Structure 1
Amino acid sequence: MTRTRTLGTLAVVVGFLAFVEFTSGVLQGYYTPMLTDIARHLGIHDADVNWLEGAQLMLSALVVPAFAKLGDMVGHKRMLLISTAVTAAAALVLPFTDSFPVFLAAWALMGFYVVWLPLEIALIWSRSRRMEGRSSITAKAAGLLVAALEGGAIIGALVGGALIDVLPLTIVLLIPAVLIVVCFFVILFGVKESPDPTGGIFDTIGLVLISLALLCFTGGLSLLRLEGGLTNPWSWAVVILGVLLVIPFVLWELRCADPLIDVRMFRSPALGPVFLTAGLFGVSVLGAQAPLSTFARTDPTVYGYGLGTSGFATSLIIGVYLIAMITGALLFSTVARWATPRLTLMGASVLVGIGFLLFLPFHDTYAQVITNMVVVGLGSGALVAALPAAAASAAPATQTGVATGLTNSVKTVGGAIASCVFGIALLHGVASTAGATEGTAGSLAGYFTVWIVCGVTALVAAVILVFVPKTAFTDRTAEAEVAPAL
């Protein structure tokens, strides 16, 4: 009776959190079919759409470590509310500006929503602390949350693609902002705080050090995308400086009694490969979104490639892809029980790699693109659900939020790097491809680069996961939770 009541209470929490992830999905799917329209509205090139994605990923990389740690310290619900409030404020700016710098800043601030899923997984993990089969419960909940996320993305993509063809852009951009405001009150009144926050003193020095490192690194990547950036030594110097600034951060974290990020987790035979897989996965799941949308919208009668789809037809491609992601997310816990979580992660990575490499010979028709995206979606959905759940089950008990947050942080960094590389690749050769300097479509060679990089990085992730212990990501005893082996 007690177990049933406890599971029922947790199910209610998961239900409200599912609405939060539904909102997150709407944000991720709604804007994608209209990226070309946004580019024309702001007077920018298709390749410059990657600036929006890159700026949001850069801010996300800064936000997640801090909010994940604060979630463990002061409560995951509290940090959910703060991040939702910031996201709502930023979304309300987008409909009322045609200035690219203002739009870029607001779009970047919307990146606060990326902390929702890791905070939710950590909250579920903490509330299921005394339940039998905790890892399985968390995995199932993660699958349901990701299914809600992708369901929201499907609805968002379909609605966004349909509305952009019939309504002014200002009205279209206002709709998701209203939904985020509703989401804030759902969290406020429907979600209970996680029990037993760890407390402690926030590692401000660690936050400053990692923020400087990430700002320099991602800022340097942005400089590389400017005209002449690849040949400018200062651009490369800023990137290298960002990498070097990680060293003092690591040294400080090793000395700190309550670090922002316990860097020793990266030495864990279970957690290390998960973090690396998350980074490689970020290349495709985050970096390839804008290129796939703009490729579908490119007119083949003008440029000789692309599908020439309307906003709604593009949203249908995205919808099928997201249905495949839902299927992969829901199948994750079942397949993991039948095989192991480790083998499931490996299989999902292989699917993503195969799906993107299929674009190389098959990209000329609508049916070919949809088929490729179904394969990619099955693997991607499983990985989105599996990575934070795997991190939670393998992390120290006091670092659950940090570990789940790190999967998003590292994934975001991978996406930021990919966004820069893909933006440069798509911009290269545009004038010659279009036959005129005013061409706005990306180059075909650039799209080939996107598909190859996404496919190869996914396959590399599958190889890395071979070295994870076979019993990783399964339930631990209470004693093992207190002092995990790192």
Structure 2
Amino acid sequence: MTSVASAKPRLGALAGIVGFLAFVEFTSGVLQGWYTPMLTDIARHLGIHDADVNWLEGSQLMLSALVVPIFAKLGDMIGHKRMLLVSTALTAAASFALPFTDSFAVFLVAWALQGFYVVWLPLEIALIWSRARQSGSGSLLTARAAGLLVAALEGGAIAGALVGGALVDALPLWIVLLIPALFVTGCLVVILIGVKESPMLSGGRFDTTGVVLLTLALAAFTGGLSLLRLDGGLLAWALVLGGALLIWPFAVWELRSTDPLIDVRMFSDPALWPVFLTAGLFGVSVLGAQAPLSTFARTDPAVYGYGLGTAGFATSLIIGLYLIAMIGGALLYPVVARRLTPRMALIGASVLVGIGYLLFLPFHSAYGQVVANMVVAGIGSGALVAALPAAAASAAPSRATGQATGLTNGVKTIGGAIASCVFGIALLHGTGGVAESTAGSFAGYVTVWLVCGLTALVAAAALLLVPRDAFTDRRA
């Protein structure tokens, strides 16, 4: 029998570790918000087209999709704190490289390597769940902690977007790009001092064959998508199809492995597969649409007939209000989940994301309209960012907590990477009418809004298939 705890759970002994991890997530937010209002400035600095900004986003998302399952598995095996430290050190090194190059190739590599920060949240949720599970209210405690971490994340993103947007108009770009690297360095100290290792580790052997098969599949698939942006030839389509087909031998190997990189049986669990599908579809909007939303706001309507023509700081205000809405959604999720069920809270959040992006279709010509759309989508997005790893942790086998939380981020990242490539193609096509244009096409922006809205509604429909009492604390 399952039920939702009627009393509001308290973090208690978890408050200390949540506080330290909140600083790490604040820094993660700084990284995610800092660069967004200055993407157009970065494009001009590197001498690339606005649509080519998606190469930066896509490369980072693709590397992230690969490292999340690897680091999540290693976290279960040898320690979530240990892998949190490794990923933070790698992120810091990449962040220090960005300010000191004007080469697109070097910038692209460093930007991709900075994507190691995506493993922070799933590793943190695994750390928290490993302690909360013994309390009898582990699911709701983890949901509350996840909400606080996501609130810290989005608070950092707000600070990053506002400060970054203001500084890019006043300081040399290299100085502005240096500041996030200092924050990441501070995280290393915080993790070393304030975070203790998970009390239970699974051990086992590392699945090297699984890593190779997964790497080949992801490299071929996303490489094909990138080539589609260039010429759309037969080779591009062959790589896309080949990458998709390589998932089959990977899954077969994982099923036969006694200690798999990813326990693919979780994808057949009636409580987990809709969560993973929702994560992938959610990645389309929360990750793949970030650059298009920024460049749309910066596009001058007097020249192109669409866009808002905002400067860096005005663009950062839009992003800041969106992130405030995400904080509200993250903090509301455990409240709604306790009063209704986690399943209903997830469905409602997905519907809000869908409505928010579909509102762009009729309402996109005024600053207030864009802000209102983003607030609606932001409430749903904040709830999903907090809810998905917490739900996966509560439904996963005890030996695979890190894998399950990592999969929500990994699948979300894959969805964002695919969307980033597709949106880059959509924005690039249709600009031929203005030979010297560096702006994306209006038809491309419509495609972004439509795809983001519909994928969110499909996710809501999938979540209807989740058992009604999923993700709740079970009583004997």
Tell me the TM-score range normalised by the shorter chain: over 0.9
Q: Partner of 1:10 in structure 2?
A: 14
- Distance in 2 between the 1:320 and 1:365 partners? 15
- Distance in 1 between the 2:173 and 2:98 partners? 10
1:436-455 matches, cutoff 5 A? 437-455=435-453
Q: Partner of 1:297 in structure 2?
A: 298
- Distance in 2 between the 1:381 and 1:71 partners? 25
Q: Partner of 1:34 in structure 2?
A: 38
Q: Partner of 1:373 in structure 2?
A: 374
- Report the 3-state secondary structure (helix = DSSP H, G, I; strand = E; otherwise coil) of the residue aligned with 1:128: helix
1:179-190 matches, cutoff 5 A? 179-190=183-194
- Distance in 2 between the 1:8 and 1:176 partners? 32
The 1:7/1:356 distance shift into structure 2, 3 A limit, reads closer
Deviation at 1:211, TM superposition (A): 1.2
1:170 equivalenced with 2:168 (yes/no): no
Superimposed CA distance per residue, residues 179-225 of structure 1 (whole angstroms, 9 cap, x where no aligned partner)? 10011111111111111111111111111111111111111111111
Q: Partner of 1:3 in structure 2?
A: none
- Distance in 2 between the 1:16 and 1:218 partners? 36
1:187 maps to amino acid? I
Superimposed CA distance per residue, residues 243-271 of structure 1 (whole angstroms, 9 cap, x where no aligned partner)? 11111111111111111111000000000
- Distance in 2 between the 1:143 and 1:355 partners? 21
**Which stretch shifts more, 7-16 or 404-413?**
7-16
Q: Partner of 1:387 in structure 2?
A: 388
1:70 maps to amino acid? L
- Distance in 1 between the 2:193 and 2:208 partners? 31
1:445 maps to amino acid? A
- Report the 3-state secondary structure (helix = DSSP H, G, I; strand = E; otherwise coil) of the residue aligned with 1:472: coil
Q: Partner of 1:130 in structure 2?
A: 134
- Report the 3-state secondary structure (helix = DSSP H, G, I; strand = E; otherwise coil) of the residue aligned with 1:473: coil
1:242 maps to amino acid? G
2:470 alignment partner, one of 451, 469, 472? 472
TM-score of the pair, normalised by structure 2: 0.97
2:389 maps to amino acid? P
Deviation at 1:127, TM superposition (A): 1.3
2:425 maps to amino acid? I
Q: Partner of 1:271 in structure 2?
A: 272
- Distance in 1 between the 2:223 and 2:95 partners? 23
1:314-463 matches, cutoff 5 A? 314-432=315-433, 435=434, 437-463=435-461
Q: Partner of 1:221 in structure 2?
A: 225
Deviation at 1:9, TM superposition (A): 3.1
1:148-163 matches, cutoff 5 A? 148-163=152-167
Please report the RMSD computed on the Cα atoms of aligned residues, expressed in angstroms.
0.9
Task: Report runs of 4+ in structure 1 exceeding 2 Å deviation.
Answer: 6-9
- Distance in 1 between the 2:44 and 2:117 partners? 26
Deviation at 1:7, TM superposition (A): 4.8
- Distance in 2 between the 1:442 and 1:457 partners? 22
Superimposed CA distance per residue, residues 322-374 of structure 1 (whole angstroms, 9 cap, x where no aligned partner)? 00000000000000111111111010000000000000110001000000000
Deviation at 1:296, TM superposition (A): 0.2
2:282 maps to amino acid? F
Q: Partner of 1:284 in structure 2?
A: 285
Deviation at 1:129, TM superposition (A): 2.5
Q: Partner of 2:28 in structure 1?
A: 24
Q: Partner of 2:107 in structure 1?
A: 103
2:173 maps to amino acid? L
- Distance in 2 between the 1:11 and 1:132 partners? 17
- Report the 3-state secondary structure (helix = DSSP H, G, I; strand = E; otherwise coil) of the residue aligned with 1:407: helix
- Distance in 2 between the 1:318 and 1:287 partners? 15
- Distance in 1 between the 2:273 and 2:447 partners? 28
1:276 maps to amino acid? L
- Report the 3-state secondary structure (helix = DSSP H, G, I; strand = E; otherwise coil) of the residue aligned with 1:430: coil
1:93 equivalenced with 2:97 (yes/no): yes
- Report the 3-state secondary structure (helix = DSSP H, G, I; strand = E; otherwise coil) of the residue aligned with 1:306: coil
1:146 equivalenced with 2:144 (yes/no): no
Deviation at 1:130, TM superposition (A): 1.3
Q: Partner of 2:7 in structure 1?
A: none
Deviation at 1:429, TM superposition (A): 1.0
- Distance in 2 between the 1:450 and 1:309 partners? 20
- Distance in 2 between the 1:43 and 1:110 partners? 21
- Report the 3-state secondary structure (helix = DSSP H, G, I; strand = E; otherwise coil) of the residue aligned with 2:470: coil
Q: Partner of 2:240 in structure 1?
A: 239
- Distance in 2 between the 1:27 and 1:42 partners? 19
**Is 2:423–2:447's contact at 8 Å kept on the other side of the alignment?**
yes
2:316 maps to amino acid? S
2:212 alignment partner, one of 191, 197, 208? 208
Superimposed CA distance per residue, residues 156-191 of structure 1 (whole angstroms, 9 cap, x where no aligned partner)? 000000000000000000000011001111111111
2:106 maps to amino acid? V
Gaps in structure 1 of 5+ consecutive residues: 1-5, 479-486
1:70 equivalenced with 2:47 (yes/no): no
1:25 maps to amino acid? G
- Distance in 1 between the 2:475 and 2:35 partners? 44
Gaps in structure 2 of 5+ consecutive residues: 1-9
- Distance in 2 between the 1:443 and 1:220 partners? 22
2:119 alignment partner, one of 96, 99, 115? 115
**Is 2:11–2:141's contact at 8 Å kept on the other side of the alignment?**
no
- Distance in 2 between the 1:62 and 1:368 partners? 37
1:260 maps to amino acid? L
Superimposed CA distance per residue, residues 132-177 of structure 1 (whole angstroms, 9 cap, x where no aligned partner)? 2110100000000000000000000000000000000000000000
